[in-house]
Structure 1
Amino acid sequence: MKSAVIFLAVFASFVSQLLAAETHTWWFEAGWVDANPDGMMDRKMIGFNNSWPLPTLRVNKGDRIQLYLINGFDDRNTSLHFHGMFQNGTNQMDGPEMVTQCPIPPGETFLYNFTVGDQVGTYWYHSHTMGQTGDGMRGVFIIEDHDNFPYDYDEEVILTLSDHYHQDSDALIPKFLSRFNPTGAEPIPANFLLNETRNNTWNVEPNKTYLLRIVNTGGFVSQYLWMQDHEFTVVEIDGIYVEQNTTNLLYITVAQRYTVLVTTKDTADENYAMMNRVDIDMLDVIPDELELNGTNYIVYNQDKFQQEKPQPYLLDSIDDFLDDFYLKPLSKEKLLDDADYTITIDVQMDNLGNGVNYAFFNNVTYVKPKIPTLFTALSAGRLATNELVYGTNTNSFVLQGDDVVDIVLNNLDTGKHPFHLHGHTFQLIERHEAIDDNDDPVAFNATDHAEWPEYPMIRDTAYVQPQSYMVMRFKADNPGIWMFHCHLEWHLDQGLAIILVEDPLALQNEESQQLTENHKQICSKNGVQVEGNAAASMDFLDLSAQNVQEKRLPTGFTARGIVALVFSCVAGVLGLVAISFYGMQDIDDVEERVARDLDVDLDEDDDEEEDGAVAEIVASNSSAGDSSTRKH
C-alpha cells in the first residue's frame, strides 16, 4: 500500500511537470556586429540578430528548446553547444562540429531541438566552431526550478567573466598555430571583462540577499573574483547544488560556473569595489600596458558614487582561494563503485614536422574525421564497438553501457588546464598539488594515492595543476558520442581532445537518436556523408583515406641534414682559413687602395696634411671592423 502511494505521488509530480512544461522557440541569425567591449578599440563581435552581447536564455526544468540557428556569415561555418546539457536521447544536438553534427554552412539553418530534462542551475551556450567563442558567440543559459531551490534569496544577478582580444580569431589563430611560434605561446588578451565590459556597476539595496550566477565565458584565462567587505556563499557549481561554503575569494576557470549568495550591508552609506584579476601564471608574457586587476563597483549610494568611485581593493595574497575539491553535493551522492574501465591519458605539448606546436593525449593530437563520429556509430552496425572505425587520430574510447569509468589525467605540461566532459558530470575524486617547473611531473599511482572522499565534488569542468594529475569518475549511463577536452580555446585548437563512444549499440536502437531530415540536409550542403567510418568509407575497417596528424619531427639527423651540416662545417673552416691567411699578409699601397675605394684623389704633390687625413680614414675603418660597403 505504501509503495502504491509513493508511486502515485511520483506519477502525479511527473504529470504535473509535464503539463507545466513549455516550448521555447527562438530564431537567431549569427553574424558580425560592431562593438567596443573594453572601450579601447572598435572591432567586430559575433552577435545574434544584429545585437551583441548575446541574450540570456531562461527556461524551466522539463521545458523543450527549439532554437533555429541561421548562419548569417557568407564565408564561414558555425555551430552551437549548450554547455553542461546532458542531451539524453538527443546526442546530435550537442554541437561540436564533426563530432555530433555537420557544421552549419553559410545561409543555412539548423534546428536545435531538445528537452532540458532533469537539470537545473547555471549553464551557458557557445559556438563549438574554432575561434567563435572568443569572437563573442557566447551567452548564459539558466534552468530554473523555483519550487525546489534549496536556499532563500531576494533577487538574482548574472555576472560573466571573459578575456578579450582586439584582433579576431582569423588574425590570431594563424599566428598561434605557426612554425614561427614553436613554443606554442598563447596570444595575450588585451583586456579582461566583467559582464562583457570593464568597470561594471552593480546597484544593490541594503539588507537583501542576492543570488549571483557567475560564469567564466572566456576562452583562455582563469580569473579570481573578490569583493571589498563582502563574502560569497557558494550554493551551486556547474548545475550541482552544494552544501553552503563561505569564502571571500573565488578562482574560476573558463567554462566553470559558481552560484553564490551575497548579503548586503544594513545601510547605504558606502560603496565598495568588486575585483576581478587574471591568473598571471597562465600568461607567457605580461605586457606593461595589460591591466591585470579589473575594478568594478558595488553601488549602494548613487549620489556618493557620482562624486567619488571606490578605489581598487587589492589583496596581500590570492593564494587562499576556495578549493572546489572540498565542496560537497547537497544530494550527498556517495563515491561511485570501483571503476569497471580506466582511461589513462597523458597531456603533453610538442612540435610536429611542420614546426607547429600541438597538444597531445597519449601522443595523439585530435584531428577531425571526414564524417561526424556520431554518424559512424549509427551506421557501423556491430563494428561500432570497434574503436578502429572511428579513426586513429580521433583518440576514441568505446565505453560499455552503465560501466563506472575513471579518467586518470596526467599533466606533463607546466600549465594549468580546465577539462570539460560533454554529456555528463563527474566526481572529482583526486587532484594532486602543483609540481614546480624544476621538478619532474608526478603521475597517478594506483597503489599509492590519497584517500578518496566519501562525498566527492561533482561538476562538468575541473582544472588540473601543473605537472600533476587528477582522477575523475562517472557512470556511462547516457549513450552518445561525448567529447572530453581542454576548454582553453587555444589548446582545443591544438588538438587536446578525446572522444568517448558510449554504448554505441544502444545508441543505434534509440529512435530519438536517428538523424533529423534537417540535419541530413545540412550535411548534404556541406558535402558530408551521413554514413561511413572516419575516412568516409563504407568499408569500416579501411582507414587508408582518413585525416591524420602531421608527421613527427625525425629523430636525429636525416641524410639531407647530414649533408647540409658537413658542407656548412667545411665552408666555415675554409672561411676561417681564408680570413687568417689574408689577415696576416702585408698589403702594399694600402693608403692608395683605400683612397681609391673612397674616391679620394691623391696627387703626387699632395702635402703631408692630406696624407695624414687618408691615414686617419684607414685607421678609422680598421677600428670599425671594415664594415663599409666597397665599390668594385
Structure 2
Amino acid sequence: MLSVFIFLAFALSKSLVLAKNVVYDFNVTWVTANPDGLADRKVVGVNGQWPLPVIEVDKGDQLIVNMYNGLGDKNTSIHFHGMYQNGTNNMDGPSMVTQCPIPPGASFTYNFTVNQNGTYFYHCHTDYCIPDGYRQALIVHDNSSYFVDDYEEEFTITMSDWYHNMAENIKPEFMSLYNPTGAEPIPNAFLFNDTTQGINLDVKPNTTYLLRLINVGVFVAQYFYIEDHTFQIVEIDGVYTEPTEADMLYIAVAQRYSVLLTTKNTTDKNYPIVTVADSTLLDTIPSDLRLNYTNWLQYDASAAHPQANITVSVSSDLDPYEDSTLVPYDHMSLLENPTISINLAVVMDNLDNGKGYAFLNNISYTAPKVPTLYTVMSAGELATDATVYGDYTHSMVLGHNDVVEIVLNNNDTGSHPFHLHGHQFQVLGKNPSYGPDFFKYADGDPFPYDPSNHSAFPAYPARRDTLVLPPQGYFVIRFVADNPGVWLFHCHIDWHLAQGLAMTMVEAPLQIQQRMTIPSGHIDTCRAAGVQYEGNAAGNTEDYTDLRGQNAQPGWIPGGFTARGIVAMVFSIVSAFLGMGSIVLYGLSDLKFVNENVQSTSDVAEEYHD
C-alpha cells in the first residue's frame, strides 16, 4: 500500500513539475500574402507574418495568449477549436456568446489549462474572419498516448480553401438580393500547408510517422489519400481510436485526424499525396478552378515526382473511410436513457428581405445585444429561464449532468459539418454513410430519422466534436452536460454560420455563476467595444423577461408567396422607386428649364420697356 502511495505521489509531482506556462504574444495586423501565386491580397497576420504560428503545448500546460488587435478596422477574437474550456468558458472565444468582440486598439488575454490531448486548431470567431486567413493548427502533445512509441517523427498538415477577395467584399454579394438561393462563394484555390506550390514530406523507408491532418478551411471538405499506401487512424478530433486501417479520408472543415503511416521498404520512387476538393458542395465549377492537388511522400529527392493518377470523374465517386464506425480507444460505453432530447431540422430559406438564411427549425441565429454568458452571470435565478437569452439565439437550458440527445435532420441538399463547443459527442447514427451512398437522398426527398426504425446503436460509439450531416439525411448524437458553460452548436461552414445556422446550449447556468468570474480585462473590452455586459438579450437590466428591442431575424415571407415571388416583388418595388426617382429627376430638370426661360423672357421685357 505504501509503495502505491509513493508511486502516485511521484507521478503527481512529476506531472506538476512538467506542466508549464506556454505564452504567445499575438499582435494581430494586416499583412500581404499570395499562397497560390495568383493574387496578392490582405490577410490577417500575427506579428507581421502569415501563415500564422502553430501553437504547440503539452497536455497539462497552461496556455496563455496575449492578443492585441492591431487590425485598425475590424473586431476580432480567438476560438481554440476543440478545447473543452472546463471551468474557463469565458476563454472560449465566440463574440457575443462568451465575450465581447475585441475592437481595434484593444488587448485581450486568453488563459486556460489544456487538460486534453490531440490535434486542434485556432481561429477567429467574430463575423466573417476565417476567409481572411485567421486560422492555424494547435497541437497538444501527449507522452502517454498508447501509440507514442510507435512513430519516429510527426508532420502537421493543414488543408483549406482560399479566396482572392476579402471577406468584407464577399459578404455583400453573398447576403444579397442578387443571391436569393444562398449560393456559397466559390473558392479560387485549395491550399496544402498554406501553399499550392507542391510540398515534399521527407521520409525514410520502413519507418512509421504520425500525420496530423486538419481542414482549417471555410467551406469545402477534402478527400485525402496517398497513392499505394494505407495508414492507421489513431485519433479523430482529439479522441484516440482503436488503430483502424484506411486508405482514404473525407475531412470536412473543422475536422481533424491523426494517422500512423509506415513507409515502404524501398526508396526507388516518390508517391503522390492527393487532396481532392468535394466538388458536390460547389454550385458552379469555374474552368480555372483546380480541384485536385498533388504533394509528395518523398523517399528520394532525386527520383521523379509524378502527378497523381486520379481516375474518378467526380469527387463523389471516391470512397473514404466511414468515421462513425471508429471505436474509441477508451471504450466509453453508449450513453443510455437521455434525459433531454432536442429534435432539429436544417432548413435553408428566404426571409422577407429576399435574402437567403439558414435555420434550425424556424430560427436563424441572431446575436444578442449582451453576450449570452454575461446574461447568465447577471440574471440571478432567472438564468435558468431560456426567455432571458432571447428569441433568436435559439438557447436551450441544460441541467447539470443531463444526458443530451440531438437528432438533426437535414432538409437541405447540401452537407453540413456541425461542431459543438465545449464537448465531444457520441455518434449513435448517421444516414447515409460516406461513399457513393452519401448523396443518394440529395436529388429526392429528405430521409428523416425514425426512432422506431433505425440501425442498432453501437456499444462503443465513435466520439468527436465535428460531424458531417449528410444531404437530406440525418445524424443522432449524445453527450453529457458535465461542463457548465455557454456553448455554440453550429455548422462550421463559415457562410452558413453567417446565415444563422447555429444555436446555443446554456449548460447548468447556476453552476456557471458559482464557479466563474469574468476577468476585469474582459469587461474593459466590452466598454471599449461599446457593448453591454449586463442584461438580457435585449440589454434590459430591469426586467429580464422583457425582450423589447432585441436583435431579431427578418420577417417571414407572407403566406402565398414563394421565395422567387418575394424576390421578384422586391425587385419590382426597387424598380418602381427607381422609376419614380427618374420621373422626379426629369421633372425637376424641366422645371429648371422653365424657370430659366421665364427669367430670360423677363429680362427681354424690361429691356424693351426701357
TM-score by length of 1: 0.85
CA contact (8 A) 2:118 2:239 kept: yes
Q: What is residue 189 of structure 2 aligned with on the other side?
A: 191
Q: What is residue 518 of structure 1 aligned with on the other side?
A: 521
Q: Distance in 2 between matches of 1:327 and 1:11?
A: 35
CA contact (8 A) 1:398 1:502 kept: yes
Rg larger for: 1
Farther-moved stretch of structure 1 (419-428 vs 224-233)? 224-233
Q: Distance in 2 between matches of 1:553 and 1:147?
A: 57
CA contact (8 A) 2:414 2:442 kept: no
1:452 to 445, 454, 457: 457
- Letter paired with 1:476: A
Matches within 5 A, 1:131-142: 131-142=128-139
Matches within 5 A, 1:197-596: 197-198=195-196, 199-304=198-303, 308-316=304-312, 318-433=317-432, 434=438, 435-510=440-515, 513-538=516-541, 539-556=543-560
CA contact (8 A) 1:375 1:531 kept: yes
- 3-state secondary structure, aligned to 1:104: coil
1:495-554 Cα offsets, whole Å, 9 max, x none, are 0000000000011001xx211011010011112222110001111001001000001111
Q: What is residue 95 of structure 1 aligned with on the other side?
A: 93
Q: What is residue 69 of structure 2 aligned with on the other side?
A: 71
- 3-state secondary structure, aligned to 1:16: helix
Q: Distance in 1 between matches of 2:263 and 2:349?
A: 49
Q: What is residue 589 of structure 2 aligned with on the other side?
A: none
- 3-state secondary structure, aligned to 2:67: strand
Q: Distance in 2 between matches of 1:315 and 1:294?
A: 14
- Letter paired with 2:499: Q
Shift, 1:381, TM fit: 0.9
Shift, 1:6, TM fit: 5.8
- Letter paired with 1:467: Q
- 3-state secondary structure, aligned to 1:530: coil
CA contact (8 A) 1:274 1:313 kept: no
Shift, 1:14, TM fit: 3.1
2:102 to 85, 101, 104: 104
- 3-state secondary structure, aligned to 1:202: strand
Shift, 1:269, TM fit: 1.5
2:140 to 140, 143, 155: 143
- Letter paired with 2:552: V
Provide closer, same or farther for how the CA distance between residues 465 and 236 of structure 1 changes in structure 2, counting only shifts above 3 A: same
- 3-state secondary structure, aligned to 2:302: helix
Q: What is residue 598 of structure 2 aligned with on the other side?
A: none
Shift, 1:142, TM fit: 0.8
- 3-state secondary structure, aligned to 1:392: coil
- 3-state secondary structure, aligned to 2:130: coil
Provide closer, same or farther for how the CA distance between residues 445 and 147 of structure 1 changes in structure 2, counting only shifts above 3 A: closer
- Letter paired with 1:311: Q
Provide closer, same or farther for how the CA distance between residues 5 and 501 of structure 1 changes in structure 2, counting only shifts above 3 A: farther
Q: Distance in 2 between matches of 1:371 and 1:202?
A: 47
Q: Distance in 2 between matches of 1:102 and 1:59?
A: 26
- 3-state secondary structure, aligned to 2:48: coil
Q: Distance in 1 between matches of 2:241 and 2:560?
A: 54
Q: Distance in 1 between matches of 2:305 and 2:145?
A: 39
Q: What is residue 580 of structure 2 aligned with on the other side?
A: none
- Letter paired with 2:126: T
Shift, 1:10, TM fit: 4.5
Q: Distance in 2 between matches of 1:98 and 1:114?
A: 20
* 2:68 is aligned with 1:82: no
Provide closer, same or farther for how the CA distance between residues 206 and 103 of structure 1 changes in structure 2, counting only shifts above 3 A: same
TM-score by length of 2: 0.88
CA contact (8 A) 1:410 1:467 kept: yes
Q: What is residue 51 of structure 1 aligned with on the other side?
A: 49
- 3-state secondary structure, aligned to 2:504: strand
1:273-322 Cα offsets, whole Å, 9 max, x none, are 11100111111111111111111122221123xxx431222144843210
Residue segments in structure 2 that go unaligned for 5+ positions in a row:
433-437, 573-610
Farther-moved stretch of structure 1 (236-245 vs 17-26)? 17-26
Farther-moved stretch of structure 1 (267-276 vs 346-355)? 267-276
Shift, 1:225, TM fit: 0.8
Provide closer, same or farther for how the CA distance between residues 315 and 335 of structure 1 changes in structure 2, counting only shifts above 3 A: farther
- 3-state secondary structure, aligned to 1:378: helix
Aligned-residue CA RMSD (Å) = 1.9
CA contact (8 A) 1:224 1:250 kept: yes
Shift, 1:556, TM fit: 2.6
Farther-moved stretch of structure 1 (269-278 vs 149-158)? 149-158
Matches within 5 A, 1:115-126: 115-117=113-115, 119-126=116-123
Q: Distance in 2 between matches of 1:447 and 1:527?
A: 51
Q: What is residue 607 of structure 2 aligned with on the other side?
A: none
Shift, 1:11, TM fit: 5.1
CA contact (8 A) 1:430 1:450 kept: yes
Farther-moved stretch of structure 1 (436-445 vs 38-47)? 436-445
- Letter paired with 2:49: S
Q: Distance in 2 between matches of 1:293 and 1:156?
A: 24
Q: What is residue 622 of structure 1 aligned with on the other side?
A: none
- Letter paired with 1:340: T
- Letter paired with 2:157: L
- 3-state secondary structure, aligned to 1:211: strand
Shift, 1:148, TM fit: 3.5
Shift, 1:32, TM fit: 1.2
Q: Distance in 2 between matches of 1:344 and 1:8?
A: 51
Residue segments in structure 1 that go unaligned for 5+ positions in a row:
569-632
1:155-208 Cα offsets, whole Å, 9 max, x none, are 010110100011110111111011110000001111111101112222222221
Shift, 1:24, TM fit: 1.0
Provide closer, same or farther for how the CA distance between residues 353 and 10 of structure 1 changes in structure 2, counting only shifts above 3 A: farther
Q: Distance in 1 between matches of 2:158 and 2:186?
A: 19
CA contact (8 A) 2:441 2:447 kept: no
Q: What is residue 28 of structure 1 aligned with on the other side?
A: 26
Provide closer, same or farther for how the CA distance between residues 442 and 8 of structure 1 changes in structure 2, counting only shifts above 3 A: farther
Farther-moved stretch of structure 1 (310-319 vs 160-169)? 310-319
Shift, 1:230, TM fit: 1.4
Shift, 1:44, TM fit: 1.3
1:244-280 Cα offsets, whole Å, 9 max, x none, are 1111111100000000011112222111111100111
- Letter paired with 2:87: G
Shift, 1:41, TM fit: 1.2
CA contact (8 A) 2:241 2:329 kept: yes
Q: Distance in 1 between matches of 2:319 and 2:71?
A: 45
